[in-house]
Structure 1
């Protein structure tokens, strides 16, 4: 049987990461200078490009500073995991589909979710903001008199 991971191409995965990460050309993740030169390819992942910054002289590659960096799973596994997360599959199902143990799938999904949180910015409200009212009853433990409903008064006002 054909698995999802067999359909993914390493070269295309790295190409997409580069295009999404650097739409205006590669810049250094350390000093953000646009002056970089290619420094060959990774020994274990032949489509993973290495670079050297001409400004700060630091070396980096396509995944440096991303959620995909410093993990033993290949990039195509991460891309497939993202896709399966988008289908709202459980970690157990993702592990089964990718041929991983459940702990690895759990670590991958946790890292990906945390990466989304880290990349998100706190929204800034401006102008007129309308908020619906909220009524909370919780928090009155031991103070039952505060949450009792008012007794219904008699029709004659007694």
Structure 2
């Protein structure tokens, strides 16, 4: 798969369906309703209906008598958007380092409305959610932990995550911003969490639950990380307040600072505005691309397509706390 807008799977819905069937069902179709894989047949048009327009890619399970297609049981289910446009949207979101706005998706895909593009992007972010594969830094790896704050002190959103109003215009510091805690394993994956408050209890719980005991932890001098002495293989810090960024022994937090830079540039330059209720979804998107930064765009897209199964995202669910203005 390459970024060629003339590629058949990006131009033809049938080619896209065949591509997805080959990827989702390498050993043949199976029923998403009961799991049957042997007693499944393709639905054929009857002789008197042969000239009528029939739905391609329709299968029937002869065990539970349910009909289905390759999109049933995935984030693409019940969408009126052609499947070739779904594949292109998935490729664009997984290959764009700092993301792609819903307005740009709308223009590139030729969609009829901004809301459709916005909802498609959220469905693809749902596919990017990866199951936990154990603690970071297992086997003596190095994990960097840090917190950051995202948002403008003059942000248009009026309600914080906890339901309280943002401070008035002109507030300084982090009072008006959304807290994010991230963990990055050097040469490995990143995990980010949108939290109500980056206080000591919250940050320590995240680190303890997601970092292996035999890992080497690297943080700044924040008091949030003072309680980890003896818990990990080592815990070293750098004093950013004294303009210390690297210590002998490769002790630094430059890796996670680099990740935060990508995230903030993408959120500020590409998405521009994000309702707080959706921030975790955007973090998932940036985490996914960064965690799979060492593979090609083709492979990263394939990994995202593996995540479409077993997930459903309705518009009511994604929009349950109010529509986005400019997601």
* Same-fold call, TM cutoff 0.5: yes
Displacement, 1:79? 1.3
Displacement, 1:12? 1.3
Contact 2:139 2:215 in 1 (8 A): no
Query: In the aligned structure 2, how far is the partner of 1:56 from the partner of 1:127?
Result: 46
Is 1:136 paired with 2:222?
yes
Query: In the aligned structure 1, how far is the partner of 2:116 from the partner of 2:68?
Result: 25
Q: Structure 2 vs 1, CA of residues 99 and 81 (structure 1 numbering), >3 Å: closer, same or farther?
A: same
Partner of residue 18, structure 2 = 15
Contact 1:91 1:109 in 2 (8 A): yes
Partner of residue 66, structure 1 = 74
More strand by share: 2
Query: In the aligned structure 1, how far is the partner of 2:54 from the partner of 2:134?
Result: 41
Displacement, 1:44? 7.3
Query: In the aligned structure 2, how far is the partner of 1:133 from the partner of 1:96?
Result: 43
Partner of residue 33, structure 2 = 30
Query: In the aligned structure 1, how far is the partner of 2:80 from the partner of 2:34?
Result: 26
Query: In the aligned structure 1, how far is the partner of 2:81 from the partner of 2:68?
Result: 18
Q: Say what the alpha-carbon RMSD is for the aligned residues.
A: 2.8
Query: In the aligned structure 1, how far is the partner of 2:88 from the partner of 2:42?
Result: 27
Deviations 1:73-109 (A, max 9, x none): 1111111211221233322211111222222111000
Higher Rg? 1
Contact 1:14 1:75 in 2 (8 A): yes
Partner of residue 132, structure 2 = 122
Q: Structure with the greater relative contact order (CA < 8 A, sep ≥ 6): 1 or 2? A: 2
Query: In the aligned structure 2, how far is the partner of 1:99 from the partner of 1:59?
Result: 30
Is 1:94 paired with 2:97?
no
Query: 1:132 is paired with a residue of what secondary structure?
Result: strand
Query: In the aligned structure 1, how far is the partner of 2:118 from the partner of 2:53?
Result: 24
Query: In the aligned structure 1, how far is the partner of 2:62 from the partner of 2:83?
Result: 27
Aligned residues between the structures: 132
Query: In the aligned structure 2, how far is the partner of 1:137 from the partner of 1:98?
Result: 48
For structure 2, the residue ranges without an aligned partner over 5 or more in a row are 46-51, 141-213, 225-327
Displacement, 1:45? 7.7
Please give the TM-score of this superposition, normalised by the length of structure 2.
0.36
Please give the TM-score of this superposition, normalised by the length of structure 1.
0.70
Query: 1:37 is paired with a residue of what secondary structure?
Result: strand
For structure 1, the residue ranges without an aligned partner over 5 or more in a row are 139-158
Partner of residue 158, structure 2 = none
